[in-house]
Structures are given as C-alpha cells and as structure tokens.
Amino acid sequence: MTRFDAADPAERRKLYVDAITAHRNRGSGFLTLEVDDAELDAADDAPDESTGAPDSSGDSADESVELDAPWVQFGNGTLNLDCTDAELDSLKTLLEDFPAFKIDDLIRPEEAEGVNARISAKADPNRIAQFIDGVFLEVYGLPAEIRVWVVEV
C-alpha cells in the first residue's frame, strides 16, 4: 500500500479495497480503519447553521452513550465495530441492503457502554468496501467527506 487515508467517497472505497487486499496478501490477523479524530472534533465544534452556536446535537438526552472515534476492523471474513443502541438500529437497517452480510454476535460488555457487533462479510473486497463506507456514513452519521485512515494492516 502506498496511501493510508482518503476523504473523497470514491477514493475512500478504493482505499478500503487496497487495505483488504494488502491484509489478505500479508496474512495479517486483521486490518483497522479509523475516522480522523481531528475532523470529528472540528465537526463537533462547528457552528450550527440555524443558530450560529456550536453544534450540541451530540449532547442530547437521546444520545446518552458517546463512544470514541468510529472504527471498523476486518479479518477472516468478519467485520467488527462498536456502536450505541441507536447506531445498532441503523446498522440493522444498512444490513437490509447487503443480504450476504449478517450479524454473527452482539457483545454488551459490562465495563463499557455500547455494543460490539461482529458481522460476517463473505463477499468480494468491493462489496465489503461499500458496506464499510455505509457503516461510517449511515450508521455513524458522518459527513460524506470524512477522512478515514488505515491504522493497521
């Protein structure tokens, strides 16, 4: 691999395909994709266009659980990610568009907030890349131009 991040939607999906291919060629245990923390912080601090005040949508009573920067791991045909209960509902909706993917396991650790989801992804790298981008955009509700990094291959 020669590049490790991308923000453009088409380039991001190409990055995911390249990372999956590199992961498989290396025989590594898993690969990890992570959203750029700096961009998340900037988006959280951006003024709400309707009021001009800093966006406080992440502080609503409906969002009682706030997790770290979104990430997705892939290894041995399985995707792994953490999400809130609301994000889990969005994940289940996204899975309707990907019939070859299914939730294998949901883990709710006592010592942590949220849910860890393990999803079987028996598909080609392009389809897996589409699903991963859907997770970042639809499940986590991130903007289309968010930068994602390959942090481990």
| Predicted confidence band of residue 1 (pLDDT cuts 50, 70, 90) | low
Asked if 15 and 3 count as a contact pair (C-beta separation under 8 A), the reply is yes
- Domain assignment of residue 91, yes or no: yes
- DSSP code at position 151: E
Residue 109: domain span: 5-43+65-152
- Domain assignment of residue 49, yes or no: no
- Domain assignment of residue 26, yes or no: yes
The encoded tokens of residue 55 equal 């966006």
Cα separation values, 151 from 32, 36, 72, 134, Å: 6, 10, 10, 19
Q: Which residue has the higher pLDDT, 66 or 114?
A: 114
Mention every residue, 6+ apart, whose C-beta is less than 8 A from residue 73: 30, 31, 32, 33, 79, 80, 81
Domains identified in the chain, total number: 1
Q: Give the burial string for 66-96 (b: 16+ CB within 10 Å, else e).
A: ebeebbbbbeeeebbbbbbeebbebbeebbe
| 21-31 confidence digits (pLDDT tens) | 999 999 989 99
Q: Cα–Cα distance between 62 and 55 in angstroms, integer? A: 15
- Phi/psi for 122 (5° steps) reads -85, 80
Q: Cα–Cα distance between 52 and 69 in angstroms, integer? A: 25
Predicted confidence (pLDDT) at residue 3 exceeds the cutoff of 90:
no
What's the confidence (pLDDT) of residue 58?
Answer: 42
Q: Which residue has the higher pLDDT, 111 or 42?
A: 111
- Domain assignment of residue 77, yes or no: yes
What's the confidence (pLDDT) of residue 43?
Answer: 59
Mean pLDDT of 51-59: 42
- Domain assignment of residue 87, yes or no: yes
The encoded tokens of residue 107 equal 């883990």
What's the confidence (pLDDT) of residue 26?
Answer: 93
Mean pLDDT of 25-40: 91
What's the confidence (pLDDT) of residue 61?
Answer: 35
- Domain assignment of residue 60, yes or no: no
What's the confidence (pLDDT) of residue 142?
Answer: 96
Predicted confidence (pLDDT) at residue 65 exceeds the cutoff of 60:
no
Look up residue 142 and give its amino acid. L
Q: Cα–Cα distance between 152 and 19 in angstroms, integer? A: 9
- Domain assignment of residue 134, yes or no: yes
Mean pLDDT of 33-55: 64
The pTM of this model reads 0.83
Mean pLDDT of 14-39: 93
- Domain assignment of residue 132, yes or no: yes
| 128-150 confidence digits (pLDDT tens) | 999 999 999 999 999 999 999 99
